[in-house]
Structure 1
């Protein structure tokens, strides 16, 4: 029984990308104990079966977002692990072409086929979660890298192949991040940045760096995220089209918001204003990369509402979120769940716990069968925020029904 508990603890911890030290801190936080009576070594003993958690089981379950029964359930053989980028790339520098160029010759027709494949993956990401797409995304990334390394091609075709590596790395990194594979996503993003820089595509490199900055801001690396988001904007803005500049500034705004503090809040609002100004410069005659198809006024409003929510300004956030959600494409289930999650928090901040609980219930319903760590994390945030209103009947019912959501 002990080894089963240990295996469950380790599996749940690794699914969240937590270190043993991080889990120890979370257990102490949930248990509301002073100091650190549980440390990394204690978690290690639990996982190896050398010691039973016993009195810590309820706090462990709460920290990991599962019931005690789930922790003590018999251990089942693990499913085949998800692939990593290392499984699909050579040990040496993956972007160094093989000497001699002995592979088949490829031309722009191959590049066009790859562009369609990459765009198809982006469209799939609009309606599917990261856990559903990570395997095909990594297979495609391996294929494109191998094609670049092993084929014979002209310098221009080589540059275009590198751009496809970069574009595929951007969407694959996003997918890996949504699957909760943050370290893997960072490796993918960095590979893409290298490819984009070799192709001398500074707009694409900025998009990849901004995506990595966004992940950092959302995973406890706020200072790094802010520095990288600002660098991505500075390095690429000279040649970036308006949509790209708007996206870079959007990420700068979010990075400032997550960094916290009054001054960062002001900087976030300034960046949002500049993003809106940049997008207003976009016109039918302005050519933007295909991967920016989703950047529009509605997306900027979403970010603005999220910033207001994070800054605890619900009177500004709630109307914006309602406006965005009123005509949002319902087939984009993950984004719908994420935007509703911000609405639920904003309603709680506005002292509307009954309505917040109703919205939270919808978020949980939408995310129940979704392999998205982003949605799972937002559910945990909502339920944590609603703890303050645990005496409100609607909230109490929600918390009782979803204790391990």
Structure 2
């Protein structure tokens, strides 16, 4: 019975996008007990069959929304298994070391230098657009791969180099995507997934997969984007650091929103709720990677407001967007233009075309200062949306000028 129950518990938990910590809390709540008589480790023991829930079965069933019989019975029909990230690796092995290495022997000092370069590129991306950074980003990727393949190093140094190549691929892929070079971005992301997996850094691999999923969702490959976003969440495991798990769920929410369907909106809102829960969870000693410094409650609000806009729920979207924009750093012109573009659409949906036109002017002003294909695409979206209000003088004047 143990393995059957464990498999069912895990399957039902992952269906809900819950971490083991979340399920432990839900079980305690269902049992109406204080403290934490059931914790993450206990749930892990149940799922692996090391321990049987026994007296906790009724409360597990309640928390998971099933009967006790369903929990202890082997399920004949289950959801088809997701693919794994191995299906998204590049062809061949572009990271295979050369048999005859001609480069120098490198150590941790070289790893630190590469780490600083990656961090600098991330900081530059906060204030510059993809068109400004694409050349140095691609150059850095080529140099890092060449360094790894041609130099000699210990296995520990090699693993650290792979992790830094993975981090570099994530930001370089993001920059390439922002520059509108989507095929190049996908190649870089896949390279990064390979590097992260070889370094056994599952959190980083999930971040790279989620970034590629996000691009797919935004470039007409919604079904692929949803599948890959789910894989990123699943493969990283429920024990991923809180910020990482929140980010994976954030991307799942967006993927559901873009994919649409009868339950897309509901699934998106549930994922957003889980993302907020993940961010607030006690890390239980698991430190989030430094490269996720930007993932916070404010970023989750940004995604929530965008989801509401995409779902045409302006009464929810407009207040959230105003709140986000009110506290945003004006020096980040690209992000400001993007967030304002969502406000334009939400205001148009709320039948406020005059104000939408005024905000659109700000988007155009900011967009003219940034070489971002994302901003250019959003400008096309708002011009298209405002076509419904050509009879409004402010809108007519805006469209005539631009």
TM-score greater than 0.5 by the shorter chain = yes
Following the alignment from structure 1 to structure 2, what is the Cα–Cα distance between the partners of residues 337 and 93? 39
Return the offset for 1:105.
Answer: 1.0
Q: Residue 233 of structure 2 contacts residue 248 of structure 2 at CA under 8 Å; is this kept in 1?
A: yes
Shift of 1:358: 0.4
Give the alignment's TM-score, normalised by structure 2. 0.76
Residue by residue over 1:126-162, the C-alpha shift from the partner in whole angstroms, topping out at 9 and shown as x without a partner, is: 0000000000001111111011001110001000000
Aligned to 2:242: 242
In the other structure, the counterpart of 1:114 is: 114
Query: 2-side partners of 1:141 and 1:237: how far apart?
Result: 28
Residue of structure 2 in register with 1:144 after alignment: 144
Cα distance change on mapping 1:284 and 1:110 into 2, 3 Å: farther
Aligned to 1:202: 202
Deviations 1:246-284 (A, max 9, x none): 000000000000001330100000000000000001569
CA–CA distance in structure 1, aligned partners of residues 199 and 290 of structure 2: 17
CA distance in structure 1 between the aligned counterparts of 2:228 and 2:282, rounded to whole angstroms: 25
Root-mean-square deviation over aligned CA pairs: 1.4
Secondary structure in 1 matching 2:263: helix
Q: Does 1:294 align with 2:290?
A: no
Correspondence for 2:370: 370
TM-score of the superposed pair, with normalisation by structure 1: 0.75
Aligned partners of 2:232 and 2:366: how far apart in 1? 34
Tell me which residue corresponds to 2:317.
Answer: 317
SS of residue paired to 1:197: helix
Counterpart CA distance in 2 for 1:309 and 1:183 is: 28
Alpha-carbon displacement from aligned partner over 1:317-341 (angstroms, at most 9, x marks no partner) = 0000000000101111100000000
Residues 167-191 of structure 1: per-residue CA shift (max 9 Å, x gap): 0000000000000000110011001
* 1:339 counterpart = 2:339: yes
**Contact 1:243/1:282, CA 8 A, preserved across alignment:** no
In 2, Cα distance between equivalents of 1:103 and 1:179 = 32
Match of 1:45 in 2: none
Give distance in 2, aligned partners of 1:167 and 1:260.
31
Residues 318 and 343, structure 2, Cα contact 8 Å, conserved in 1: yes
Q: Which residue matches 1:181?
A: 181
- Measured in 2, the distance between the counterparts of 1:134 and 1:277 equals 35
User: Structure 2 vs 1, CA of residues 142 and 282 (structure 1 numbering), >3 Å: closer, same or farther?
Assistant: farther
- Return 5+ residue gaps in structure 2 as ranges: 1-90
Contact 1:178–1:372 (CA under 8 A) maintained in structure 2: yes
Equivalent residue runs for 1:69-218 within 5 Å: 93-218=93-218
Contact 1:312 1:349 (8 Å CA) reproduced = yes
Sort the Cα spacing of 1:282 and 1:379 in 2 relative to 1 into closer, same or farther, 3 A: farther
Is the 2:241–2:283 Cα contact (8 Å) retained in structure 1?
no
| In structure 2, distance between residues paired with 1:262 and 1:356 | 29
Q: Is the 8 A contact 2:344 2:360 kept in 1?
A: yes
- Contact 1:203–1:239 (CA under 8 A) maintained in structure 2: no
Taking the aligned partners of 1:126 and 1:168, their CA distance within structure 2 comes to 15
Residue 329 of structure 1: SS of its match in structure 2?
Answer: coil
Report what 1:50 is aligned to.
none
Q: Deviations over 1:85-112 (max 9, x none)?
A: xxxxxx9742010114442111111111
Contact 1:202 1:239 in 2 (8 A): no
The number of residues matched between the two structures is: 312
Query: What is the aligned partner in structure 2 of residue 233 from structure 1?
Result: 233
Contact 2:193 2:208 in 1 (8 A): yes
Secondary structure of the corresponding residue to residue 324 of structure 1: helix
Unaligned runs of 5+ in 1: 1-90
Q: For 1:394 and 1:163, how far apart are their aligned partners in 2?
A: 52
Residues 252-401 of structure 1 mapped to structure 2, 5 A cutoff: 252-281=252-281, 286-401=286-401
Task: Tell me how far apart the structure 2 counterparts of residues 149 and 178 of structure 1 sit (CA, whole Å).
Answer: 28
Alpha-carbon distance in 2 for matches of 1:300, 1:398: 32
Q: Secondary structure at the match of 1:262?
A: coil
Q: Deviations over 1:180-216 (max 9, x none)?
A: 0001100110010011111111100000000000000
| Whole-angstrom distance in 2 between the partners of 1:238 and 1:317 | 30
